[in-house]
Chain A
Amino acid sequence: MTPEVVRRSVLDGRPLPATGRVKAYPLPFATRLNLRGSPDVVEPVRKAFGVAPPTQPMGSASAGERAALWLGPDEWLLLAEENAGDLMGTLTSALGGVFHSLVDISHRQVGIAIEGPGAARLLAAGCPLDLDARAFPVGMSTRTLLVKAEIGLWRREENFFRIEVLRSFAPYVARILDLAARDQG
């Protein structure tokens, strides 16, 4: 008998904020690759992945279901829809002669969407950055903190953020967001 293998999200069954001003919900499973290297990796990745890793600090670039987020001057997060095929293989061949590191971290993190006119205010309950749209404009992306958890924060639209949370921290982050939303009514 073949055992049934079911992939469950760590966020299944955990309450997330859903108020009139803001709602948070888990994003679908995704392929995530951590890429490190000099700016020499940009062009081969652009050709093979379809999105060029941004060299602008705290920048992001996206096209359709794919995105490249700046994490540091030599580090990026590549995001793709879950069924991206053998992305690791494709990129490894594309980066053939270029010194780099490419690590599949798809299952390390979970994505949470935070959406609505109260989105920035909800995150501000635990994030030390200034999330006003003038200080943290649409498209900006960075690693930062949410209370005690390290998160990746990406502002996709003025009232829509994607946060990337380490899997084991996801229940904590969900709880913090839920409590903050209750506080804020």
Chain B
Amino acid sequence: MLLIHCPYCEMERPEVEFKYGGQAHLVREPQKATDEEWTDFLYFRDNTRGLHAERWRHAVGCGRFFNCLRDTVSDKIAATYKAGEPRPSSP
């Protein structure tokens, strides 16, 4: 089982308390988006090999969404950070 550092609880917590929430840092701007951009937002996601920024929720804990940099090959988590914070440049 992975131990994931929750940036709100400020503690490593067991993976079973978390839910995966998909790719992070997507911006929802329906007023500004062209049809193509809106389609991208709704239906298409990156399929990264390597570090992937993604949302997680500490569902059975503080309940908060936060972001996580995870290597999709090794499953190693490089960083977790609060929602709204920018993606760390280099882990």
Asked if A73 and B16 make an inter-chain contact with CB atoms under 8 angstroms apart, the answer reads no
Q: In the complex, what residue of chain A is closest to B82 when comparing beta carbons?
A: A73
Asked if B62 and A143 make an inter-chain contact with CB atoms under 8 angstroms apart, the answer reads yes
Within 133-185 of A, Cβ neighbours of B (below 8 Å) are at 142-145, 150
Contacts of A144 in B (CB 8 A): 13, 17, 60-61
B42 on the A face (CB < 8 A): no
Given A57-B10, A128-B1, A72-B64 contact (CB < 8 Å):
yes
Contacting residue for B17 out of A57, A73, A145, CB 8 A: A145
Contacting residue for A142 out of B1, B9, B16, B64, CB 8 A: B9
B8 on the A face (CB < 8 A): yes
B63 on the A face (CB < 8 A): yes
Nearest CB on A from B14, distance (A): 4
Contacts of A58 in B (CB 8 A): 9-11
Contacts of B1 in A (CB 8 A): 128
Contacts of A143 in B (CB 8 A): 60-63
A115 on the B face (CB < 8 A): no
Q: CA separation between A150 and B13, bound complex, in Å?
A: 15
Chain B interface, number of residues (Cβ within 8 angstroms): 14
Nearest CB on A from B3, distance (A): 10
Given A128-B16, A128-B17, A142-B8 contact (CB < 8 Å):
no
Within 19-70 of B, Cβ neighbours of A (below 8 Å) are at 60-64
Q: CA separation between A144 and B9, bound complex, in Å?
A: 12
Nearest CB on B from A146, distance (A): 10
Contacts of A75 in B (CB 8 A): 62-63
Nearest CB on B from A52, distance (A): 19
Contacts of B9 in A (CB 8 A): 57-58, 142
Q: CA separation between A143 and B8, bound complex, in Å?
A: 13
B residues adjacent to A (C-beta < 8 A): 1, 8-11, 13-14, 16-17, 60-64
Q: What 7 pairs across the A-B complex have the smallest Cβ distances?
A: A72-B62, A128-B14, A57-B10, A72-B63, A57-B9, A73-B8, A150-B60
| 8 pairs, A vs B, C-beta closer than 8 Å | A57-B8, A58-B10, A71-B63, A73-B64, A75-B62, A128-B17, A142-B61, A143-B60
